[in-house]
C-alpha cells in the first residue's frame, strides 16, 4: 500500500494528500484485521483448521501459528482427492471434534461435502480472495469485507 501510494504521489502530486490520507486509513484497516485475527486465535479452544479443498493458506497458517489439514497441499489443479485422503480427513474431524470443514470460493465443494456427510461438522467457506463470484462483485465485496467474513468463520472453526 505504501509503495503504491508513493508512486501515485510522485505521478500526481496535486492529489498526493488525498492518496496519503486514503493509504493511511487503509493501512489502519489492515492492522485492525490482523489484530482481529490475533484476538480470535488467542482466545480459541483449538488451533487447528481443516480444508476439504485446495489449500492456498500456507502463509496464513504460518503467520498465525495454526495447524491445518487439507485435501491438497496447495493450490493444486486437482479436484479429486484419494479415498485415503478423504478417510484421513474424516478421521481427523472426528478425532479432534472439529466443528467446521472449510472449502474455498468457487470450489465444487465435493470433498468438503463428503467429509461433512460423514461427520457432525458444518461446511463453511474461507475466502482466499483469489477470485470473486458475480454475486460478490455485484455486492461490492472488498478485500476488507471478505477478510471480515473469514474472521467470523475462523472463530466458528476454532471454538
pLDDT confidence bin for 73, thresholds 50/70/90: confident
- Residue whose C-alpha cell reads 493509504 in the numeric block: 23
Q: What's the CATH number of domain 45-158, 3.20.20.70, 3.20.10.10, 3.40.50.1980, 2.60.120.200?
A: 3.40.50.1980
79-122 pLDDT tens trace: 688 999 999 999 999 999 999 999 999 999 999 999 999 999 99
What is the DSSP track for 86-135? HHHHHHHHHHHT-SEEEE-TT---HHHHHHHHTSSPEEEE---SS---HH
For the chain, the structural domain boundaries read 1-43, 45-158
Distance, in Å, from the CA atom of 89 to the CA atom of 84, rounded to the nearest integer, reads: 9
Distance, in Å, from the CA atom of 119 to the CA atom of 98, rounded to the nearest integer, reads: 9
pTM of the complete model = 0.91
Amino acid at each position: 500500500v505504501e509503495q503504491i501510494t508513493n508512486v501515485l504521489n510522485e505521478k500526481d502530486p496535486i492529489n498526493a494528500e488525498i492518496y496519503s490520507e486514503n493509504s493511511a486509513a487503509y493501512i489502519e484497516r489492515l492492522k485492525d484485521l490482523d489484530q482481529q485475527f490475533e484476538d480470535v486465535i488467542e482466545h480459541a479452544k483449538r488451533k487447528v483448521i481443516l480444508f476439504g479443498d485446495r489449500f492456498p493458506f500456507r502463509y496464513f497458517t504460518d503467520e498465525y501459528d495454526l495447524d491445518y489439514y487439507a485435501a491438497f497441499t496447495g493450490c493444486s489443479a486437482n479436484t479429486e482427492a484419494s479415498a485415503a485422503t478423504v478417510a484421513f480427513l474424516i478421521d481427523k474431524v472426528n478425532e479432534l471434534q472439529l466443528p467446521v470443514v472449510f472449502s474455498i470460493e468457487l470450489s465444487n465443494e465435493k470433498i468438503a461435502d463428503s467429509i461433512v456427510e460423514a461427520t457432525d461438522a458444518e461446511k463453511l467457506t474461507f475466502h482466499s480472495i483469489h477470485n470473486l463470484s458475480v454475486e460478490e462483485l455485484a455486492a461490492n465485496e472488498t478485500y476488507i469485507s471478505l477478510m471480515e467474513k473469514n474472521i467470523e468463520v475462523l472463530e466458528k472453526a476454532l471454538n
